[in-house]
Amino acid sequence: MRLVVVGSGVVGASCAYAASCLGAEVVLVDAAAAGQATAAGAGIVCPWSSRVDDPAWYAFACMSARQYPRLIEDLGELGETNTGYRRVGALSLADSGEQQEGVRQRILARRAGAPEIGDVEALTGAEARGLFPPLRADCLAVYVGGAARVDGRLLAASLARAAVRKGAIIRDGRAQLLCSGGRVTGVLLGGQIVAADAVVAAAGAWTRAFLEPAGVTVAVAPQRGQIAHLSLEPADTSRWPVVLPGGSGHYMLAFDGSRVVAGATRETGAGFDYRVTPGGLAEILGQALAVAPGLADGTYLETRVGFRPIGPDIRPLLGPVPGVDGLVVATGLGASGLTMGPYAGAVAARAALGEPDAVDLAPFDPLRLPPGRPVS
Ligand SMILES: Cc1cc2nc3c(=O)[nH]c(=O)nc-3n(C[C@H](O)[C@H](O)[C@H](O)COP(=O)(O)OP(=O)(O)OC[C@H]3O[C@@H](n4cnc5c(N)ncnc54)[C@H](O)[C@@H]3O)c2cc1C
């Protein structure tokens, strides 16, 4: 079975790795588009504090978070230990004791179905600040022990290398889908045909452009995210928890090397405009400093820009495309793709190879359109 995976962000790289482990002959293709979401993504893995009210999304996100430690272990066994993944916990901030108790109860109620949530504790402002020192002194918080963070760039690179170790081939360039007689036959790459029995379209926000020439329309669009990186040298930030202020959708997290990340804008309608804007920068730094004034004296390092692949709703676009044999779509992970990407990629690999899967793909129909628009 020969599989071409288009896109080597977290979804495509995971798919290539999973398919290679299942014995497929895999070619992983990437166009190196500016604004890959995986390379800009913050890397928070904590679906349990989400306010999203969609059971199918939540179940998929939970399963994704649950599978992470196993994936990281498997990659480690292949010598891939540098993924930036660490279970650092999260602080879900609250403005009042009442709000704090509401958050604590909501997360605790979810723990029965997701024991990996771990410890759930109400913290005083001083306790929260003890874990994330730049915080304001008066921030009440709920600590969620199971939350993790991951470095999207490192993870995707590790997955791609692991896939190569299992026999996959990596090719650079912009792929064009080739179909004939109601099925995929491969892709055109740099003027050459790369033949395949199946193709997984994991091209993120560019998936629509990849599929449209073949007459397949998926409702995925870019949402620009700008996210700032700061250095707090010489602080040891390697175990600082993720900070989720709630409400605004902004957050902070930390990595090794004194690096603190503050994000992010959610700019729907900005298209593929790969720029850092003064407005974007003011928004993310303003929100971060309002909650964590201790960041003010850090060193500004860079702002990353990425295009989240946003579907017609919160759920992924995931599964085989009816009417085009051998074509599988894996995108639309929006703001949660670093959480769900590894699992979604593995699901796509199994779908492409015709392997059985426990996941019900019905809620993730890749051809669904926004509510109110007729399905053509
Ligand atoms: C600022 C920001 C913060 C985020 N924070 C988080 C977070 O904290 N937690 C979380 O879970 N998620 C987060 N996300 C979301 C997450 O990053 C994305 O959902 C995820 O990375 C999408 O991965 P992907 O593989 O689908 O797409 P991408 O990573 O965008 O990869 C798509 C790839 O396809 C390639 N491609 C496109 N067209 C072609 C073609 N024709 N031929 C070959 N290759 C092609 C591109 O070059 C690109 O490399 C964040 C995103 C952003 C932007």
pLDDT tens figures, 204-229:
999 999 999 999 999 999 999 999 99
Report pLDDT for 370. 84
Report pLDDT for 376. 42
Report helix, strand and coil shares of the chain as percent, to nearest 5.
Answer: 35, 25, 40
- 4, 5, 8, 45, best to mutate for ligand 1 pocket (most atoms within 8 Å of CB): 8
86 close to ligand 1 (CB < 6 Angstrom): no
Taking the whole predicted model, whether its pTM rises above 0.85 is answered as yes
In this structure, the residue with its CA closest to atom 4 of ligand 1 is 41
Give the Å distance between the CA of 320 and the centre of ligand 1: 20
Instruction: Evaluate if residue 350 carries a pLDDT over 50.
Output: yes
Q: Would you identify the CATH topology of the domain 87-148+222-310?
A: D-Amino Acid Oxidase; Chain A, domain 2 (3.30.9)
Q: Which residue reads 């723990």 in tokens?
A: 111
35 close to ligand 1 (CB < 6 Angstrom): no
Give the Å distance between the CA of 36 and the centre of ligand 1: 5
245 close to ligand 1 (CB < 6 Angstrom): no
**Encoded amino acid at 12, one letter:** G
11 close to ligand 1 (CB < 6 Angstrom): yes
pLDDT tens figures, 61-104:
999 999 999 999 999 999 999 999 999 999 999 999 999 999 99
Give the Å distance between the CA of 205 and the centre of ligand 1: 7
What is the maximal distance between C-alpha atoms in the chain? 66
Specify the higher pLDDT residue, 197 or 249. Answer: 197
156 close to ligand 1 (CB < 6 Angstrom): no
Q: How far apart are CA 22 and CA 273, in angstroms?
A: 38
Are the folds of 2-39+153-220+312-364 and 87-148+222-310 the same?
no
CATH code linked to domain 2-39+153-220+312-364: 3.50.50.60
Instruction: Evaluate if residue 375 carries a pLDDT over 50.
Output: no
Closest ligand 1 atom number to CA of residue 340: 11
Residue 249: which pLDDT band, with cuts at 50, 70 and 90? Answer: confident
Cα torsion 293, 295, 298, 303: sign: negative
Give the Å distance between the CA of 300 and the centre of ligand 1: 24
Closest ligand 1 atom number to CA of residue 205: 30
With CA atoms as reference, report the closest residue to 47 among 35, 39, 55: 55
Q: What are phi and psi of 174, to 5 degrees?
A: -90, 120
Query: How many distinct helices (H) and strands (E) make up the chain?
Result: 9, 20
331 close to ligand 1 (CB < 6 Angstrom): yes
In this structure, the residue with its CA closest to atom 50 of ligand 1 is 41
12 close to ligand 1 (CB < 6 Angstrom): yes
Residue 248: which pLDDT band, with cuts at 50, 70 and 90? Answer: confident
For the chain, what are the domain ranges?
Answer: 2-39+153-220+312-364, 87-148+222-310
Report pLDDT for 181. 94
Give the Å distance between the CA of 7 and the centre of ligand 1: 9
Averaged pLDDT, 184-188: 98
Instruction: Evaluate if residue 56 carries a pLDDT over 90.
Output: yes
Averaged pLDDT, 250-257: 97
Instruction: Evaluate if residue 111 carries a pLDDT over 70.
Output: yes
Residue 374: which pLDDT band, with cuts at 50, 70 and 90? Answer: low
With CA atoms as reference, report the closest residue to 346 among 65, 2, 19, 7: 19
Query: Are residues 204 and 331 in contact, defined by beta-carbon separation less than 8 angstroms?
Result: yes
Q: Please tell me what DSSP assigns to residue 53.
A: -
- Identify any residues that bridge with 317 across adjacent strands, giving them in sequence order: 331
- 336, 339, 347, best to mutate for ligand 1 pocket (most atoms within 8 Å of CB): 336
With CA atoms as reference, report the closest residue to 335 among 40, 20, 32, 29: 40
329 close to ligand 1 (CB < 6 Angstrom): no
40 close to ligand 1 (CB < 6 Angstrom): yes
Helix (H, G, I), strand (E, B) or coil at 107: helix
Give the Å distance between the CA of 10 and the centre of ligand 1: 7
With CA atoms as reference, report the closest residue to 160 among 85, 87, 78, 222: 78
Residue 186 Rama label (left phi>0; alpha psi -120 to 50; beta): left
Give the Å distance between the CA of 44 and the centre of ligand 1: 14
With CA atoms as reference, report the closest residue to 15 among 221, 207, 225, 181: 207
47 close to ligand 1 (CB < 6 Angstrom): no
Closest ligand 1 atom number to CA of residue 29: 43
| % residues pLDDT > 70 (the chain) | 99
Averaged pLDDT, 109-128: 96
Closest ligand 1 atom number to CA of residue 10: 25
| % residues pLDDT > 90 (the chain) | 95
